[in-house]
Amino acid sequence: MHTPAGLPDTGALGIEHLTISYLRRERVLPVLTDVSFHIEPGEAYGLVGESGCGKTTVAMAVMCYLPANARIEAGRIRLQGIDLTTAGQAQLRSLRGNRMAMVYQDAGSALNPSLTVGRQIAEVYRFHGGLDGGAAMEAAGAMLETVQIADPARMLRRYPHELSGGQQQRVMFAMALATNPDLLVLDEPTTGLDTTVEAEVLDLVSRLRSKFSASILFISHNLGIVARMCERVGVLYAGRLIEEGPSREIFSDPRHPYTLGLTRCVPNRIMRKDAHRLDPIAGSLPPLGLAVRGCVYAPRCPIARSRCREEDPPAFASGASRVSRCFYHAEVPGIPPGVEALPSARAEGAAEELLRVEDLSKRYGVGANQVVALDDVSIELEAGEILGLVGESGSGKSTLAKCVVGLLEASGGEIDFTGRRLSRLADWRKPELRRKLQMVFQNPDTTLNPSHTARRILTRAARLLSTGGSPADVDQRVAALAAAVQLRPHHLDLKPSFLSGGLKQRVAIARAFAGSPALVLCDEPTSALDVSVQATILNLLVDLQTKQRVAYLFISHDLGVVRYLADRIAVMYLGQIIEIGPAQEVFSPPHHPYTEALLSAMPTIDESQGARIKLTGTMPNPANPPSGCRFHTRCPRYLGDICREREPPWQEDHQGAGKAHRYRCHIPPADLGPAQREMISRPADNDERPGASA
Amino acid sequence: MSALPPSLEHGELPAPPPSDRPDQILGAELMSAASLSAPSLSARGLPTGRTREVLRALWRSKTFVIGAAIVLFWVLDAIFWPLFVPYDPEGLVSPMTLQPPSAEHLFGTDDLGRDIFSRTLAGARPTLTVAPLATAIGVAGGILVGLFTGYYRGIADDIVMRIVDALLAFPLIIIAVLVMSILGPSITNVILVIGIVFTPIVARTVRSAVLVERQREYVAAAKLLGNSDLYIMFAEILPNIMGPIAVEITIRLGYAIFTSATLSFLALGIQQPSPDWGLTISIGRVFLQTAPSEVLFPAAALATLIVGVNLIADGLRQVLEE
């Protein structure tokens, strides 16, 4: 069905030897080098790679939206035979409207906030479809129905800010599809959306594909999504297309060391921190504009030889309709995992309770506008234990962490730490308690003070968190901290703007560990990092935990990471903990229907995935939570009035020794378990079926 | 199935940094470039990356360079005028009053027979003494008030900001005139009054910058380490809001020059026989119809200085907002 790449094509989109540079400060920095691929009519082509590898530049080049400082040095982009690199402005405008369309990553900022949704969609019909006002609005309504927005007539009159993230993205799809384009460019269309919403949007794309015949260029950093959505995939590295082929084959049997590295550095279903180490890719992406001799991946490649550093590898046919730019592509399947020795056994001690949070609540506002961000949350943690905290955005995960650490003042409830009652705000806590309770934040760009060097940051932390000591002692402590997080000495004298995201996060971790903490709260510490960097940071966190017997409260929306890392897992929904228990038990039935939905929404490149559970609707407004079970409005296993009227009891599920596994639901484990197991074993062929009974 | 190693089951890359639009890709790349060639860039003592980048961009900004040249001219003039003025600016050097420009008196003479050329050059000194000192007081006060109100928020913030709103509801010059007529005219009082009047304006700018900055995670981290509030305000937050403060300083400087000239013009500021521009314009306006030079040249001098300062402010803002 596919023609081998490189041959002249008659497909929907053909990119030939595209080379693009950016001009910056009188320097010419190549971003794309000799990129060639094509997309057949009706085909979905995925483009994957880590941030900074040139994915978005490809999208912008195809849409001819390159920034002013970009220059196409060589190559052609052909849309059904028309060369876009030489097309005039008028022609491009008409092409963009009628033949190709793009859906952007951040729908919230891609929509005009001051126009109603209806007007923005109708505009497309007016300018490109030639319809007049009334007819255009009607067509807009019909298109909203196509992208499965409930109550289109009302939605037309809404403004973008009144829509949820998933709805905004649907509106973007409606605008893009309004002219029935031949090519649809999707640039990270689900990044920033919650897993369940992401799954909905992806289902929509699949459904739209069968309705419209557009070719799709799907750009994503998420291998799982691309594997699911695309027939073929290209892997970009440092502006070069290093491997290409059918998506299932590329990920199951990579023939380029970089693709192999990408697939190996994320934790999979069987990996646990006690038994497996993650396998990060050594080194980092070469800086833009660096003249590379030979293979661009050679400095990080485990099988690089002298030839790799001399010659630029051409495109080899590495299989039927597959291409790899590696001299030794045949050897790739045999590359052994670069896993280091397992960490030494965990420092064992008697199980002692470290943290007990009881009935913690946090309310904002008063009266009718009161929002309950945390509703009687109780958790406990043992010394050296990792408790994973998962849930969609707005579920209260970060609020819980901030209340525990004392950055937010809880409205009610108690926090006991090392057997002592904690004041609600960090300022009021005793220094020795504060020292033992630290936090690692989410955003590497704001977690460090931009005007302080790494050394100043760590010195300050060491001085405040460790007791006493001469300046020489403090210096020594800083050096030890830097070594513990694998920072090189010269990094210490740099300000954060000169450090990469991974390095910044290491400084932040070192800062939290400056006072030998007993509990560190990690609020999505790797969510802004690329996978290969994430693997390094997770390994680091595991090492520190094993060596120092630190406990973590680890917040993440990435269930794969939590499953790998956590001893126990707590699931939050609308400010409540709805399930808590040992990691393995939470991840296997019986578990809360919400957990079940979260798990089934996980993007995966495993073909044996079971039937998907689809959640309907979005998370209700926390100012006005649903009665009874808070999840009943979206629950795929909704029983009836009982769920709507009565708050569900805690169900205990005794599977093994150790801590109890409990979830909040009206369905007892004896009934829930078999039903959920049956769902998993059902084949995943029900994409067209609407969500389970709502 | 054997073709599917278990490690592929969950092939997910985490969310990339907020966006990878090309310009930001470049940013990220340069960052890693910098960290690779770290030692050469971190030479201690030299201005570090951001500062040096800003300085370089300022040097390339025509707006800034022209503004700086104009201001530099007047600063040098204010310091060195005794070395090159042809006549004593306060002396009655000619029996002929209200003369038009001539070879002897380049800008003509005023109503008392003083040399306008010398007076115009010498007039930069009082203006460039009053304005920077007044600005310094206003900015220092504004930083203090802005940091405290922005950092602590709460009731004190509400009260202080409502007072600021009330003050800003009046035209500044009215408040200045009011206070000056109570305190009596003197250079010190002019400096104090302008400084005090500027404090709430600067405070508001500083406060809004603090409000943004205090939400950042490094401030939360600093609290968890147990840093004192004063340390967080002055050592953690203040260095990161120097950009808006620098812009505010230049804008305030322009207004300070203008306000000081206005007060002199209203005879509430600097007094005779000083060659201060505002004062000279005030006296000369009586003869505007017959002998315009007495107004024209000091006014032109004042205008160029204010334009110069504003060009600096514009250039700075453009560079910092890039």
Residue A566 has pLDDT above 90, yes or no: yes
- Name the residue with higher pLDDT: A25 or A510: A510
- Name the residue with higher pLDDT: A508 or A673: A508
Question: Would you state the pLDDT for residue B64?
Answer: 95
- Name the residue with higher pLDDT: A448 or A212: A448
Q: Return d(Cα B292, Cα B111) in angstroms, integer.
A: 11
Q: Return d(Cα A379, Cα A556) in angstroms, integer.
A: 17
For residue A124, give the 3-state DSSP assignment: helix
* Residue ranges of A 436-455 with Cβ closer than 8 A to chain B: 437-439, 441-443, 445-452
The answer to ipTM > 0.90 is no
Residue A433, chain B, CB below 8 Å: the answer is no
Q: Return d(Cα B219, Cα B227) in angstroms, integer.
A: 10
The dihedral region occupied by A420, where left means phi > 0, alpha psi between -120 and 50, and beta the remainder, is beta
Q: Residue A263 burial (CB < 10 Å; 0-12/13-18/19+)?
A: buried
Per CB-CB distance under 8 Å, the chain A contacts of B14 are 221, 526-531, 534, 558
Judge: A434–B222 Cβ closer than 8 Å, yes or no: no
pLDDT band at A178 (very low <50, low <70, confident <90, very high): confident
* Residue ranges of A 186-225 with Cβ closer than 8 A to chain B: 188, 191-192, 221-225
Residue B93 has pLDDT above 70, yes or no: yes
Q: What are phi and psi of A380, to 5 degrees?
A: -140, 150
Q: Which residue of A498, A505, A516 is the best one to mutate when testing the B interface, meaning the one whose CB has the most B CBs within 10 A?
A: A498
Q: What are phi and psi of A2, to 5 degrees?
A: -100, 140
Q: Which residue of B2, B23, B24, B32 is the best one to mutate when testing the A interface, meaning the one whose CB has the most A CBs within 10 A?
A: B32
Give CA angle at A473 (A469, A476), nearest 5°.
Answer: 150
Q: Give, to the nearest 10 degrees, the angle between helix B293-321 and helix B49-60.
A: 140
Residue B104 has pLDDT above 80, yes or no: yes
- Name the residue with higher pLDDT: A92 or B135: B135
Single out the residue of B28, B21, B24 nearest to residue A55, CA to CA. B21
Question: Would you state the pLDDT for residue B32?
Answer: 37
Q: Which of A264, A493, A508 sits opposite B42 (nearest CB)?
A: A493
Rounded to the nearest angstrom, the minimum Cα separation between B242 and chain A is 10
Single out the residue of A340, A332, A338, A341 nearest to residue A304, CA to CA. A332
Model-level pTM?
Answer: 0.83
Listing DSSP states for B38-62 in one string gives HHHH--TTSPPHHHHHHHHHHHH-H
Question: Would you state the pLDDT for residue B7?
Answer: 39
pLDDT band at B315 (very low <50, low <70, confident <90, very high): very high
* Residue ranges of A 364-403 with Cβ closer than 8 A to chain B: 402
Residue A265 has pLDDT above 70, yes or no: yes
Task: For A449-485, write each residue's pLDDT tens digit.
Answer: 999 999 999 999 999 887 767 888 899 999 999 998 9
Q: What is the mean pLDDT of residues A90-95?
A: 86
Task: For B243-295, write each residue's pLDDT tens digit.
Answer: 999 999 999 999 999 999 999 998 888 888 889 999 999 999 999 888 898 89
Task: For A591-618, write each residue's pLDDT tens digit.
Answer: 899 998 888 887 766 655 556 677 776 6
Cβ–Cβ < 8 Å for A48, A220 = yes
Per CB-CB distance under 8 Å, the chain A contacts of B41 are 494, 498
Q: Which residue of A449, A463, A509 is the best one to mutate when testing the B interface, meaning the one whose CB has the most B CBs within 10 A?
A: A449
A-B C-beta contacts closer than 8 Å: 233
Cβ–Cβ < 8 Å for A355, A380 = yes
Task: For A94-127, write each residue's pLDDT tens digit.
Answer: 888 788 899 988 888 889 999 999 999 999 999 8
Highest mean pLDDT among A196-200, A364-368, A541-545: A541-545
Question: Would you state the pLDDT for residue B25?
Answer: 35
Residues across chain A: 694
Judge: A605–B10 Cβ closer than 8 Å, yes or no: yes
Q: What is the mean pLDDT of residues A344-368?
A: 78
- Pairing of β A353-364 and β A371-382: antiparallel
The dihedral region occupied by A248, where left means phi > 0, alpha psi between -120 and 50, and beta the remainder, is alpha
Judge: A262–B227 Cβ closer than 8 Å, yes or no: no
Q: Which amino acid is it at A600?
A: S
Q: Which of B5, B22, B217 sits opposite A446 (nearest CB)?
A: B217
pLDDT band at A264 (very low <50, low <70, confident <90, very high): confident
Residue A377 has pLDDT above 90, yes or no: yes
Q: What are phi and psi of A66, to 5 degrees?
A: -60, 145
Cβ–Cβ < 8 Å for A202, A229 = yes
Q: What is the mean pLDDT of residues B294-318?
A: 94
Q: What is the DSSP letter of B237?
A: I
Residues across chain B: 322
Per CB-CB distance under 8 Å, the chain A contacts of B30 are 24, 287-288
Q: Which residue of A has its CA nearest to B34?
A: A498
Q: Which amino acid is it at A618?
A: T
Least confident of A35-39, B4-8, B79-83: B4-8
**Tokens 């990469």, residue located:** A500
Q: Return d(Cα A354, Cα A373) in angstroms, integer.
A: 24
Q: Which residue of B1, B20, B30, B51 is the best one to mutate when testing the A interface, meaning the one whose CB has the most A CBs within 10 A?
A: B20
Question: Would you state the pLDDT for residue A10?
Answer: 56
Per CB-CB distance under 8 Å, the chain A contacts of B1 are 608
Question: Would you state the pLDDT for residue A24?
Answer: 77
Per CB-CB distance under 8 Å, the chain A contacts of B47 are none
Judge: A498–B31 Cβ closer than 8 Å, yes or no: yes
Residue A106, chain B, CB below 8 Å: the answer is yes
Q: Which of A60, A447, A526 sits opposite B221 (nearest CB)?
A: A447
Rounded to the nearest angstrom, the minimum Cα separation between B209 and chain A is 15
Judge: A605–B41 Cβ closer than 8 Å, yes or no: no
Question: Would you state the pLDDT for residue A344?
Answer: 52
